[in-house]
Chains A and B, each alone.
Chain A
Amino acid sequence: QQQVKQSPQSLIVQKGGISIINCAYENTAFDYFPWYQQFPGKGPALLIAIRPDVSEKKEGRFTISFNKSAKQFSLHIMDSQPGDSATYFCAASTGKGGSEKLVFGKGTKLTVNP
């Protein structure tokens, strides 16, 4: 049973373009939604995260949009750069804290062409 569904599986964007990755979840008890960036051979690194009490959060070129009623959230990367080429994972967790037992999507491999 996959609790967090992520799409697309892979994405190719030109430099300067907008990259959009979508995730949908099933468990309405989830209360923390982070996005992680992973480069080959490295561990995941937190990029940006959101709680369900806000509909959007922006940090630099990265924005999370959150739709609680649709149980969906997305990552937008503005002005995409070749250095953004990596695998991106959405995740969700429940419980009192923000980082307990993260449930991950399957990942999106982003390639930004120069």
Chain B
Amino acid sequence: NAGVMQNPRHLVRRRGQEARLRCSPMKGHSHVYWYRQLPEEGLKFMVYLQKENIIDESGMPKERFSAEFPKEGPSILRIQQVVRGDSAAYFCASSKSTGGFTEAFFGQGTRLTVV
């Protein structure tokens, strides 16, 4: 049973380009969360999605960032017109449900570097 799969592991983009980060949740999981981790910082919540729905995007920057979790395929975090400040590790987590004491499993992250 594969864990949460994120790709690419490392991504380098020039300022102004687009970055697309992919996350395949664990089998049987229908809830996906994206977090951003800056160096020497904890993880900051960005967005929570279920299949075809954005449930909570309170942590997403208002501009340039978007996320989706289509009926088929992985969840995508898209960053348009990247700037140096977007350089960070982006982690995806998935869970089966949110009822009760439910563990969120994290992927290994995508390290985005903007040059």
What residues of chain A have their CB less than 8 Å away from a CB belonging to chain B?
A: 4, 6, 32, 34, 36, 41-46, 49, 51, 89, 91, 95-107
Give Cα A29–Cα B107 distance, bound, in whole angstroms. Answer: 27
Which single residue of chain B is at the shortest CB-CB distance from A4? B42
Residues of chain B contacted by A105 (CB below 8 angstroms)? 42
22 cross-chain CB contacts under 8 A: A32-B101, A43-B108, A44-B91, A45-B106, A49-B101, A49-B103, A51-B101, A91-B42, A96-B99, A99-B93, A101-B33, A101-B45, A101-B48, A101-B56, A101-B58, A102-B33, A102-B35, A102-B43, A103-B45, A104-B44, A105-B42, A106-B41
Once bound together, how far apart are the Cα atoms of A74 and B56, in whole Å? 29
B88 interfacial contact with A, CB 8 Å:
no
B1 on the interface (CB 8 Å rule)? no
Cα–Cα distance between A92 and B109 once the two chains are bound (Å): 21
Q: Are B43 and A104 in contact (CB under 8 A)?
A: yes
* Chain B interfacial positions (CB closer than 8 Å to A): 4, 31, 33, 35, 40-45, 48, 56, 58-59, 91, 93, 95, 97-109
B35, B42, B101, B107, most chain A CB atoms within 10 A? B42
Find out whether the CB atom of B98 lies under 8 angstroms from the CB atom of A98.
yes
- In the bound complex, how far is the Cα of B34 from the Cα of A73, in angstroms? 25
> What is the chain A residue whose CB lies nearest that of B47?
A101
Provide the residues of chain A in CB contact with B48, threshold 8 Å: 100-101
User: CB within 8 A of A43: which of B4, B98, B100?
Assistant: B4
Indicate if the CB atoms of B98 and A100 lie closer than 8 Å.
yes
- Given A101-B56, A102-B33; 14 other pairs, CB 8 A cutoff: A43-B93, A43-B106, A49-B101, A97-B95, A97-B100, A99-B93, A99-B103, A99-B104, A100-B56, A101-B45, A101-B59, A104-B35, A105-B42, A106-B41
